[in-house]
Homo-oligomer: A and B are copies of this chain.
Amino acid sequence: MSSSAGSPDSGGIPDIAGNGNGSGQPGTAANGRPLPEATIARLPVYLRALYSLSERGVSTVASDELSAAAGVNSAKLRKDLSHLGSYGIRGVGYDVDYLVYQVSRALGLTQRWPVVIVGGGNLGRALANYGGFVNRGFKIAAILDSDRGLIGRRIGDVAVRHVSDLEDVVAMNKVVIGVIAVPAPAAQGVCDRLVAAGVTSILNFAPLVLKVPDGVDVRKVDLSIELQILAFHARRRSAVRVERVPEDEQVPEEESV
């Protein structure tokens, strides 16, 4: 059933109070369908650009400017935003603060999500100190580690606690997002405990593929994978250059001027 989902316009006023989104369901586009995954991944980038504009006192921005700041095609930006509702003004652009609000709401950042970080080593410390953490809709519920030498040490404004507190921390703070920054051999075990405790979203920095049950969302960050992708393109580039340049002047020793 369903088929053509109603007509695009029924009222006429672009609903300031409403959510531009008939279904109260979060995570759905104005047309009732879920937001495209690719759009979701770009919204945080737009949001960051918008914050930057807002801080600089810019009150209105056109899709050309905003898309340039976000590093994407302007048509793509407009289509992405159109999925949230019709929040632009033709001939003018978008109201920066209003768009910040709408994008934040679409991403579910009207609340502050408590996050638990497991692993207080080099990486865990870097993450916990990261400003973009606290300033962007999240708060650190706890940093956990198994090394008793680290317990009590303050990172940012949170003290490291022992990993045996994991279940308590998750339950008490209703944590649903966890970050794994422990060595690879310990990661799956930590993951299992997080999931058992109720965490449904995991950001994994350990270099292995985590096994999780359905309904649990895992994203990964891996420096070496990123570098390998870069290396691939770098080699292709240099090979093409060698192909083109006749053998004499390969490796350019760089101009001296």
Tell me the A residues contacting B by CB distance below 8 Å: 25-27, 34-35, 40-41, 43-45, 47-49, 52, 69-71, 106-109, 113, 115, 121-123, 125-127, 129-130, 132-133, 136-138, 171, 174, 176-177, 179, 198, 200-203, 207-209, 215, 217, 219, 221-240, 243, 251, 254
Contact = CB atoms under 8 A, between A and B. Distances in A.
Nearest to A127: B223
Contacts of A43: 228, 232
A137 B232 CA distance: 11
A223 B221 contact: yes
User: For the complex formed by this chain, how many copies does it contain in all?
Assistant: 2
A26 to B, nearest CB: 5
B174 A109 contact: no
A107 B228 contact: yes
Given A107-B232, A234-B108, A224 B130 contact: yes
A242 to B, nearest CB: 10
B132 A234 contact: no
A127 B125 CA distance: 12
B108 A209 contact: no
